[in-house]
Structure 1
Amino acid sequence: MKEIKAIVEAYKQIDFQVKKAALATVVRVEGSSYRRTGARMLVTDAGEWIGGISGGCLEGDALKRARLAMAQQKATIVTYDTTDDDPYQIGVGLGCNGIIDVLLSPLDANNTENPVRVLEDIIEKRLPSILLTVTESQHPGLVLGQVFRYDNEDSFKAKFPDKSLALEVITAIDEVLSLTKSKSYSFELATGERVTIFVEVLVPATHLLVYGGNYDIYPMVKIAKEVGWKVSVVCNPLKVHKSLFELADAVIAKENGHQVAIDVFTVALLMAHDYETDFGNLRYFIDTPIPYIGMLGPKKRTDKMFTKLNEEGRFFSEQELQRIATPVGLDIGANTPEEIAISIVAEIRAFFAKRDGGRLRLRKKPIYE
């Protein structure tokens, strides 16, 4: 989501009276690739670009081809096959070993449904959003590069050009939402026409709630922001450095710390270094739907809290205990506040990706399944 936000902000700065722009989007990957489907790059005819569609091996060529698409004002698909041994093939020898389809879409600033304008409308939503992009079409009512946003079944049926195809697309959307994984689908109509649509699920940025005001929150906030998360800090605003107000998305007074909206993409990190404060926050969050609660400090400290809650008549199910990470973070030998922040961010990322956080060299499956 960080890259998309950067693209939207860059788009807003473009003077379309003197410049043209296009959006490059990875819509299909077969085999290995540095970036996956949904990776984007905004380019202008002046040679400026932001974002990326690979590890640097395809951007230059994509920029040239995007300029042609801008000149023709026509979307196009470019396929990069880095599995070929042909020395003249872009990307050969750089270790990609995959086939990558990139959609180059010229951007009409007057079109409220152009891809970047649609992205702008959904980046702040706190629920998964579905974006559909036509990547191949023999259907007269569907144009290559055309984008549809899925809000609900009724509104989608009303605006989608082919009513019979809409039902098949909705089935594909349901699958993507259940797996939280974007995918391209090819549909064959009764007339023999083929349509391929990239069905993309965009999940909200992780919202990190940091409860604490000591010096170790600053690297925590910086690293979380660097990976594109939304960060709110609950503390005594009068006792923190003024830089925190620029680093974090929100600085919230302790007395209002339990009034923050919680969703399935929200995590709480309890690092007040004060037993009673952390205990009170744990007691509160365990009875909310928040999926992850990170507790800084030794395990025996949290065990003491569990014992106290048991004495109060509050016992934990195994499912509830799985939500509590204590001590929080991956075991990387972290010592400094910066290293500890890295270990915590990595564990939270692994949690949402349903990974165990182990070493990739020991992974038996492909990195991207």
Structure 2
Amino acid sequence: MKEISAILKSFEKAEKKGKKTALATVVHVEGSSYRRPGARMLITEDGELTGAISGGCLEGDALRKALSAIVQQQNKLVTYDTTDEDDAKLGIQLGCNGVVHILFEPIVTDQIFNPIRLLQELANSNEDSVMVTLFSLDQLQQPGTSLLYRNGLSRTALTAALQSDLVVAAEAALQNKSSDFRTFQYDDQAVTGFIEFIPAPLELVIAGAGNDVQPLVDITSVLGWHTTVVDGRASHATAQRFVKADRVLVAKPDEVLKKTGTGEHTFFVLMTHNYNYDLALLKQLIIQNCAYIGVLGPKKKLQRMLDELSSDGVVPDEKQLALIHGPVGLDIGAETAEEIAVSIVAEINTVLRRRSGTSLKDKEYGIHSSLSG
């Protein structure tokens, strides 16, 4: 979502200056590639690039293709084949081993559902969403970014019949929380639909405003996570101490959830270094529908907390226990506050992406999850 937000900011600046723009989207990949389907980049007519569609090797050629799309005011699908060992043939020195298909769409602002408009609506939502991009590997016609769907609402200029088919696919993607490819009929031709599942933005609540929280907020800011810092100490929970946090709150344990809310996209980390504060908040969180509860400190501390909660009649079931991560973080040998912050962020990302957190060299298959048409 951070990349999309950056693209939208750049588009707003370009529009104010009267610059023409195009959106490049990776829509299909065969084999290895630095970026996967859904990666985006905004290109202005004077060569400003925001976002990324590769590790930097495609961007130069992509600028030329984008300018062509802008001049012709026509969507274009460009294929980069990196399976040929003769890199000089492409002239872009990719160094990967795959085929990457990138769709270039000139942004026409008077089209009510142009790609940027759909991305704007997506960014304004705090719900899981699905973006559908239609393209063809065989035909000249490239419909492009065509539909945004969330919570029973679709935004599109497509015909009712095609919209109905796309909504069925979008609902399945929302249910499965995963992206997919489907084939549809568009103007009597078969086109591929990239059904892209885009989760709601991550909400991170850090209970604690000590010095060790500062590097954690610095990292989550870089990642674009919406971060709230909350503590009972007004002297510690200040905007001056946490300039990169989205919100800084002063609250007692029984006030925290009223001010922050909970939900399936909300992650909590308890690191106040105040046992009673963390215990009181954990007691409330156990029965909430949140995604993750990290508890800083040794395992015996968490066990003591669970024992006390059990004595109070609060006994978490297996599902609730699975949400609690204590000691918080991955085992990377962290010692300093900065290293601990990396450890915590890494673990949250494994939960968010449904990964194991193991070394990539031990993976039997590719780095990325498989997604092919």
TM-score, normalised via structure 1 length: 0.92
TM-score, normalised via structure 2 length: 0.91
Query: What is the match of residue 71 of structure 1?
Result: 71
Once the two structures are superposed, the pairs formed by residues 352-367 of structure 1 within 5 Å of their partners are: 352-367=352-367
Query: What is the match of residue 209 of structure 1?
Result: 205
Query: What is the match of residue 251 of structure 2?
Result: 254
For structure 2, list consecutive stretches of 5 or more residues without a partner in the other structure: none
RMSD: 2.4
Q: Is the 8 A contact 1:131 1:202 kept in 2?
A: yes
Note the C-alpha offset of 1:170.
3.0
Structure 1 counterpart of 2:144, one-letter code? G
Q: 1:16 to 1:204 in 2, by over 3 A?
A: same
Note the C-alpha offset of 1:144.
2.1
Note the C-alpha offset of 1:222.
0.8
Q: 1:297 to 1:152 in 2, by over 3 A?
A: closer
Q: Separation in 2 of the partners of 1:335 and 1:154? A: 48
Matched residue count: 365
1:89-115 superposed Cα distances (whole Å, 9 cap, x missing partner):
437754321111111011123333221
Once the two structures are superposed, the pairs formed by residues 230-309 of structure 1 within 5 Å of their partners are: 230-235=226-231, 236-240=233-237, 242-255=239-252, 256-259=255-258, 260-309=260-309
Q: 1:237 to 1:83 in 2, by over 3 A?
A: farther
Q: Work out whether 1:109 is the aligned partner of 2:98.
A: no
1:183-202 superposed Cα distances (whole Å, 9 cap, x missing partner):
3322257x962122221111
Structure 2 counterpart of 1:225, one-letter code? S
1:109-157 superposed Cα distances (whole Å, 9 cap, x missing partner):
3333221121111113221111112213999xx962242222465757x
Q: Separation in 2 of the partners of 1:154 and 1:334? A: 45
For structure 1, list consecutive stretches of 5 or more residues without a partner in the other structure: none
Q: Work out whether 1:326 is the aligned partner of 2:326.
A: yes
Structure 2 counterpart of 1:343, one-letter code? S
Q: 1:257 to 1:174 in 2, by over 3 A?
A: same
Query: What is the match of residue 161 of structure 1?
Result: 159
Q: Work out whether 1:187 is the aligned partner of 2:184.
A: yes
Q: Separation in 1 of the partners of 2:158 and 2:43? A: 29
Q: Is the 8 A contact 2:69 2:76 kept in 1?
A: yes
1:283-316 superposed Cα distances (whole Å, 9 cap, x missing partner):
0100111121000001111111111111112212
Note the C-alpha offset of 1:241.
5.1
Q: 1:171 to 1:241 in 2, by over 3 A?
A: closer
Query: What is the match of residue 147 of structure 2?
Result: 148
Query: What is the match of residue 81 of structure 1?
Result: 81
Q: Out of 247-256 and 16-25, give the one that drifted further.
A: 16-25
Structure 2 counterpart of 1:124, one-letter code? N
Q: 1:195 to 1:80 in 2, by over 3 A?
A: same
Q: 1:137 to 1:187 in 2, by over 3 A?
A: farther
Q: Is the 8 A contact 1:334 1:340 kept in 2?
A: yes
